[in-house]
Amino acid sequence: MQSQPQPVVIVQSRIQSVMQQVYLWMTAGLLLTGAISSMLANNEALLGIVLNPIVFIGLFVVELGLVLAISAFINKMSPALATGLFILYAGLNGITLTPILLTYTAASVATAFFTTAGMFAALALYGTVTKRDLSGMGKFLMMALFGLLIATIVNIFLRSSGMDFVISIFGVLIFAGLTAYDTQRLNQIASQAMSEDEIGRFSIMGALTLYLDFINLFLYLLRLLGRRND
């Protein structure tokens, strides 16, 4: 006997409920990152420790490991463990972002943040309501992202301001597109029936995905719009 398709209203209600948890955790991560960055920026002693190259590289490696661990093993984790790792990552990111943010004026950081928030909201809404299948665009954007990473590494040695400007523009375009694509993909997954544990793990994985889109979009906008401190 074939199962009957569920009414649209039930599916929409499920999507709304699950995605609400995704956005709540994403917001919590951003708030934690901002709070720790603000605290560190006003503590010269701690900031001096973070600016030690060995410490900074170590923190960056731990961050990368946390992202890879959550992404690779999310289905084997308990929701509590996944949540703890996400909170730890968001906190560490607040530490490693602080030296970058301090190179720009406070007004520039605020402008880039609110511009990012507006763009993110509009793109997430588009990804939610559009009937267009964005999966093809997602594959293209992932390839473009690898190209962006290679160009960024090359420019570390070239130190070209012109290339840095081009990289920043493409960075904004790529993460703008990924925001819409990831939102649509997460909505599609959220429409499926899931247990409480599956919802818990999914909400953290989704929050991490959108958190990374937001942070990267913000950083590339800051590079374009930001004024550096004298």
Over residues 133-186, the pLDDT tens digits come to 999 999 899 999 999 999 999 998 988 989 999 999 999 999 999 999 999 999
Quick check: 189 pLDDT over 50? yes
Alpha helices in 51-104 (DSSP H): 53-73, 79-101
* Residue 49 one-letter amino acid: I
Confidence of residue 194 (pLDDT cuts 50, 70, 90): confident
pTM over 0.85, yes/no: yes
Over residues 92-106, the pLDDT tens digits come to 999 999 999 999 999
User: CA–CA separation, 105 vs 85, rounded Å?
Assistant: 31
Token readout for 125 is: 């809404």
Contact 75, 17 (CB under 8 A): no
Contact 49, 106 (CB under 8 A): no
Token readout for 22 is: 């995704």
Token readout for 113 is: 């943040």
User: CA–CA separation, 79 vs 61, rounded Å?
Assistant: 24
Token readout for 30 is: 């951003």
Tokens 């899931």 correspond to 194
104 forms beta bridges with: 228
Quick check: 230 pLDDT over 80? no
Contact 192, 145 (CB under 8 A): no
Q: CB-side exposure of 191: number of CA atoms within 13 Å?
A: 14
228 forms beta bridges with: 104
pLDDT at residue 1, as a whole number = 43
